[in-house]
Amino acid sequence: MDKIKGKTRINYLMTEAIRRRVSDLHLIVDSPPYIRLQGKLHSLPEESPLKEAEIETMVFSLCSQAQKEVIITNKELDFSYNFQDKVRFRVNAYYQKGTLAAALRLVPDKIKEIDDLFLPSICHQIIKSKQGLVLITGPTGHGKSTTIASMINEINHTQAVHIVTIEDPIEFTFKPEKAIISQRELRKDTHSWLLSLRSVLREDPNVVFIGEMRDLETIKAALTIAETGHLVFSTLHTNSAAQTIDRIVDVFPRGNRDQIRLQFSNVLLGVISQRLVPTFSGERRPAVEIMLGSTAIKTAIREGKSHMIDNIIQTSREIGMISLENSLASLISEGQVSLEVAQKYALRPQDLLRMTGKGKR
């Protein structure tokens, strides 16, 4: 496709990404365009390797002059792009080996419902809460943004509230239904995370979505916003509920950690840690660990006993908690995934073997 250049070529590649229903499109010098489909990377064999000038033309055609200057100065930038006013891409432009590259994440034009994503029914109950902190965790590319979007959109359809999102960049766009929605994008609608989080309480919100709890300031703000009577959603790149607790507490200076454990335990509604697992059909289904802010969980957090969290989750299924291994075992029993695949995603493979009757007795 050498004859397809610059703007025309990036339009063609984005059209192909949409047609093939991929999650990501990668542009790197001296490589053909790559796509990620159902979690796996594939090159586009009909495409020739990309040249440096060609990638610069393609990437800079997607952004404003101000964004172009930020990319050149800072060597990286996240931004969103509306393609043909129908589909959005989240673009990360960055430099590697002195040349411009880009990763484009395709954001679905339709926000799926909680049940359509095969998420646990407890998610419907969590969003009915008036205040508290809900964290969606897991590796990059495993559906955290999609899960939060489905939960926020159900609030949008069922509750007369004001939802404020602070994102870098905006991914899913919400059409106001019963709720009103203010979506703020870093650099476009606010100059910094700190300023936006300080001002959000003056915007009369009921529900606040913070794109990512990335440092001490955003974590502190999320806890304060939840503590002052708001329902707060955010994400973390952690692998389990217990690891999430440790990550949040360990961000703070040692002398403040007892106070943070108390504050965190008081506002915690739940942690949803998820993986997208390949199925026999070639699609992916979520395996989900659910930790709820029960009395036992709150006590373990306050006392700094995060090592007890896994056992509490295992013994609290009757109130809606689920271990990752229980979720994987259910997918196996439903005939969705193989034991071999499930083991790759388990945090405790031996527990999974025991649950499926394959382990040592």
Other C-beta atoms closer than 10 Å to the C-beta of 299 total 13
Judge whether residue 24 has pLDDT over 90.
yes
In this prediction, residues 196-216 reach a mean pLDDT of: 94
Contact 21, 37 (CB under 8 A): yes
pLDDT of residue 3: 40
Judge whether residue 317 has pLDDT over 50.
yes
Other C-beta atoms closer than 10 Å to the C-beta of 197 total 20
In this prediction, residues 182-207 reach a mean pLDDT of: 94
Report residue 214's pLDDT band, with 50, 70 and 90 as the boundaries: confident
Contact 48, 2 (CB under 8 A): yes
Confirm or reject CATH 3.30.450.90 for domain 6-107, answering yes or no: yes
Tokens, residue 107: 């954001």
pLDDT digits (tens, 9 = 90+) for 145-161: 999 999 999 999 999 99
pLDDT of residue 360: 54
CATH number for 115-322 (one of 3.40.449.10, 3.40.50.300, 3.40.630.30, 3.20.20.140): it is 3.40.50.300
Cα angle, residue 111 at apex, residues 332 and 155 outer, rounded to 5°: 100
Report residue 361's pLDDT band, with 50, 70 and 90 as the boundaries: very low
Report residue 359's pLDDT band, with 50, 70 and 90 as the boundaries: low
pLDDT digits (tens, 9 = 90+) for 259-296: 999 999 999 999 999 999 999 998 999 999 999 999 99
Between helix 257-267 and helix 295-302 the angle, nearest 10°, is 170
CATH 3.30.450.90 intervals, the chain? 6-107
pLDDT of residue 187: 87
pLDDT digits (tens, 9 = 90+) for 115-149: 999 999 999 999 999 999 999 999 988 999 999 99
Other C-beta atoms closer than 10 Å to the C-beta of 100 total 23
Judge whether residue 92 has pLDDT over 60.
yes
- Distance, in Å, from the CA atom of 71 to the CA atom of 92, rounded to the nearest integer, reads 10
Percent of the chain with pLDDT over 70: 98
Mean pLDDT of the chain: 93
pLDDT of residue 85: 75
pLDDT of residue 8: 85
Judge whether residue 97 has pLDDT over 60.
yes
pLDDT digits (tens, 9 = 90+) for 168-190: 999 999 999 999 999 999 988 99
pLDDT of residue 122: 96
pLDDT digits (tens, 9 = 90+) for 82-91: 998 778 999 9
pLDDT of residue 230: 97
Judge whether residue 253 has pLDDT over 60.
yes
pLDDT of residue 164: 98
Question: How would DSSP label each residue in 146-183?
Answer: HHHHHHHHHHHHH---EEEEEESS--S-PPPSSSEEEE
In this prediction, residues 335-348 reach a mean pLDDT of: 95
